[in-house]
Structure 1
Amino acid sequence: MTPEFRMIPVADLVEHPQNPRDDLGDPQKLAELANDIAENGNTEALHVFPITEGENAGKFLLIAGHRRTEAARLGNVAELYARLRPDLDSLDKQLETMLRENTHREGLTPINEAKAIQAMLDCEGMSVKKVAKRIHRSETFIRSRAAMVKLPESAKSAIDAGRMTLEQSQIFDEFADDEEATAELTKNAGTTDWGFTVNRLRNAKVRKFKTAASEQLIKDLGIKTISSYDSYSSNKYSRDYDRDKTPGERVAEGQVAVLGSQGDLEWYQVKQTGKKQLTEAEIADKKRFKDIGAGLEQADALWLEHVERKISAAAGHFDRPEDAPAVLALRKSMFAGYSADRARATRVLGIGVTAEGGMTADVVAAVDARVDKLKLLQLAYLHAFLHLMKDSLHKPSTWHCKYEWDRTSLQKFLDTRREIFGYEVTAYEQEAIDYWDEKERAATAESSDNDEGWDLEDDDA
């Protein structure tokens, strides 16, 4: 069949609703093209499909030449040279032609191409294999492009802007069922934090999977669990590293388990010891230890309230222009990528949400938004609290100075807290310090007595 060419009024040209190109390019270049067409006409024919039905009957559907048509309108050109393509009588044929036409033209982005390919796949009777053959691309290429259509808009923009590779975009598939992870990937798309974010989310996904599997095993086998604190703070348990034993065999032996931070089960043998009858002194000591723990809970609450008041009161501090670098440095280094720091920050920022249910995207956003509003003195207080202050002050073990470096570390913390926050040791905290000092003196005295006993035996010998 001999191709038919004719001049067609620009007013009779209808833009294709599935045109892959959604950007007509540089306005300056479009203006130059408009001038050229106004002076010389279009040397390259448009491709159009004659419309015979509907409200646009008698007009022509643009298949190739959207940019040239827009330039003609800009240059007030009345007619354009076009080739009639009645053979393009289905959407898949039209999309195929548009894709092949635009493949070698500047301005068709990967996302533009992805949308057109997905539209072809949606046509009746089409498949990955058929589309690949029609536009002369591999099936892998077709699948990867089609997957891009489901990406968040920020990721699509990062791809089109060259900030994200196509390989990186495929990582979104790994977290398709995780809205929070997808939100984090979207936030960091095309940034320097991308690699760190992907590794952290992958590790979290593995940890979540292991945890779920371990929890199901605990439920199915009726495994008795203990806390990690109990496993090392008590002499009732000994770790069993035998990898050949099955969980069922361990349960039969009476072992207990700790659900580790990475989702694995750590197994412990319960030591067989007779129940010891406590002396009056031991009972009193046990009660004192419990009272100290209760007191430290109150002391910790008072300390947090003090820090919160300090940060709140510092809102009256007015930053100077020369403070800007210090403010920026503190904000940049406040969390250093660690969610634990943000979790601690929720305790003194009064943001209305806490990290008790985990560091969700809402909690992270609330903390970051609050920090962005803090002034220099407020930031300094928060930075000191997160990076110079001890954590777990409500635990009696935190106040135990068994070695000299323990004592030095504790004293440094107390001195720093007093110097920065003007906060003295509370009676509850002093009670904990005195308790452990007494314990250490008693242990030293007992050791000394034992040493003397050995010396006497040596002398007798």
Structure 2
Amino acid sequence: MNATFQELHIDQLVIHAKNVRKDVGIVTDLANSITEQGILQPLVVAPALAGDGYTIIAGHRRHAAAKLANVDSLPCVIREDLDTEPKQLVAMLVENTQRADLTPVEEATAYQTILDFGDGFNVKTVAKATGRSQSHVRKRLLLTKLNGDAKGKLEDQTLNVDQALVLVDFADDEEATAKLLEAAAEGRNWNYTVEMETRRRNAPVKVANAKAALEAAGIELIPEEHRYSGPWNRLYEHEAARTMEEHAAAGHRAFISMWGDIEWFEKPAKAPKVTPELTDEEKEAKRREAQLTAALDIAHAVRAEHLKGVINDPPEGAADEALYRLLVRHLHSHVNLFAEITGRHPDSESDHQGIKAALAAMTVEQMALLLHMAERSQEDELLKLWAWDAGDYRHTWGPKGWIEDLGSVYHYELSAVEQEVLDHFQQAHDARLAETATEDQEDEDADDE
């Protein structure tokens, strides 16, 4: 490195046209400090590539503060070796990342600017020059694909880098981007919206693939109205676990859901009872319930990821709460706590040592949460719409307590759609009460007559 030290007049210094930092911030306190003590750390400059003077490489804040403090000359380290724009940009990036954090967008723009020069610059050379990992540089470069709104929210920290990287995947989808930005601002619906938009994006291909597979197997589709009522009975999950050929041989028919999943139906052995055709209102109610059921499937996937995260990194107090709830209820678990994680079954003698080792590797907090989850979890039930109905007798002995535990133990906040499902049943319950009250009043009036 070819460097010399010299006092330079402030008029000799110019800000680099492609300065990495776009905003030097408020420099009043720094100006006061310079007035009292002078500039303690010299600026780093390089000879201007065009014209006279020197381009600032590091020290833009000190330069701005010196102007405010009416200082004429500044101590500078002159880097004669920075004789090209790419070299100057790399040096600016290194200097700034060593002294203060750049915003992610500023860092991404700087990397992209350097790469745009070519001249042998690629992700590997930029990572080496700046002391960053290649993975870090690649992820930052992805942020350049964001639209202006997303970049602005990333700059003002209402959007974090992880969320921004998700948005990159939807950069060509304005509608999805808008929904994701709204969810990021709201907070609790972020994971649900990501899952929803991911499924919505992938659905056309999945639906097309499902149709092609069914057509190739010679399997007919049932109309949507027969999904709710009609001559075909839907198969339970364990009954539907067959190959396409087996379904075809059994004469089954199929329905493709909005997400591209195949639902299987069979014709009952006995002739079905003749049922009146559904009214338009009843059909709409069935469609609404199908939409809510599909939404619950997304919520289930989001909760599953959330619960895995809680097990891997238990929030403070979660384990104590879980153990407390188990002790209070005097519950005893009779299920395998480790099968899904270790792939080992407790009845297998050969897996005894493996299970013991898995147990020894866990913290008390993880074991407590696993024990509680194994005893209390009703996740499979919450895939079913009835489980959210407080008026259903089955709700009280399982799903209700698990919904409560999701909040108090696992710090899970119900998404808007989950709350919508609860409200859906509450409104239906209120309507039934109102109808009953009206009928009772009519009976009383009739008795009075």
The TM-score normalised by the length of structure 2 is 0.56
Measure the CA separation in 1 of the matches of 2:73 and 2:438.
81
Amino acid at match of 2:256: L
Distance 1:220 1:230 in 2: 22
Q: Which of residues 42, 45, 52 in structure 2 aligns to 1:45?
A: 42
Change (3 A) 1:409 1:257: farther
Structure 1 CA distance for aligned equivalents of residues 104 and 152 of structure 2 = 10
**Corresponding residue of 1:214:** 210
- Match runs of 1:230-241 below 5 Å: 230-231=226-227, 233-235=229-231, 239=235, 241=239
Aligned-residue offset at 1:175: 3.1
Superposed, 1:174-213 pairs within 5 Å as 174-189=169-184, 191-193=186-188, 194-205=190-201, 207=203, 209-213=205-209
Q: Secondary structure at the match of 2:128?
A: helix
- Confirm whether residue 135 of structure 1 aligns to residue 214 of structure 2: no
Match of 2:121 in 1: 126
Indicate the residue corresponding to 1:88 in structure 2: 82
Which residue in the other structure is 1:12 paired with?
12
Matched, 1:68 2:65: no
Structure 1 distance, partners of 2:282, 2:152, is 52
| Cα drift, residue 134 of structure 1 | 0.8
Q: What is the CA distance between 1:164 and its match in structure 2?
A: 4.8
CA shift at 1:114, angstroms? 2.2
SS at the partner of 1:268? strand
User: SS of the residue aligned with 1:69?
Assistant: helix
For the pair 1:246 / 2:244, whether they are aligned, the reply is yes
Report the alpha carbon displacement of residue 156 of structure 1 after superposing the two structures with TM. 4.1
Distance 1:71 1:234, change over 3 A: same
Which runs of no fewer than 5 residues in structure 2 stay unpaired?
A: 284-413, 443-449
The corresponding residue for 2:32 is 35
CA distance in 1, matches of 2:216, 2:436: 51
C-alpha distance in 2, partners of 1:123/1:253?
Answer: 64
Indicate if the aligned counterparts of 1:21 and 1:108 stay in contact, CA closer than 8 A: yes
Query: Which TM-score applies when normalising by structure 1?
Result: 0.54
Counterpart for residue 417 of structure 2 = 338
8 Å CA contact 1:389–1:417 kept in 2: the answer is no
CA contact (8 A) 1:158 1:189 kept: no
- For the residues of structure 2 that align with 1:195 and 1:166, how far apart are their CA atoms? 15
Deviations 1:24-68 (CA, angstroms, capped at 9, x unpaired): 13x2xx123223434554333222222353xxx113222111111
Structure with bigger gyration radius = 1
Q: Residues 265 and 82 from structure 1, CA distance in 2 versus in 1: closer, same or farther, beyond 3 angstroms?
A: same
| Cα root mean square deviation, aligned | 4.3
Q: Does 1:267 align with 2:261?
A: no
2-structure distance, mates of 1:204, 1:218: 21
* 1:87-137: CA deviation from partner (whole Å, max 9, x where unpaired): 212222112211221123235323322221222222212111101111111
Which amino acid in 2 is paired with 1:147? L
- Please tell me whether the aligned partners of residues 232 and 265 of structure 2 are also in contact (alpha carbons under 8 angstroms): no
The DSSP-based 3-state class of the residue aligned with 1:80 is strand
What is the total number of aligned residue pairs between the two structures? 308
Q: CA deviation at 1:220?
A: 5.6
* Partner-residue secondary structure (3-state), 1:149: helix
Instruction: Decide whether the 8 Å contact of 1:154 with 1:189 is kept in 2.
Output: no
Moved more, 250-259 or 119-128: 250-259
Match of 1:115 in 2: 109
Conserved in 1, the CA contact under 8 Å of 2:48 and 2:54? yes
SS at the partner of 2:127? helix
> Tell me, what secondary structure is at the counterpart of 1:37?
helix
1:285-300 pair list within 5 angstroms? 293=279
Matched letter for residue 43 of structure 1 = L
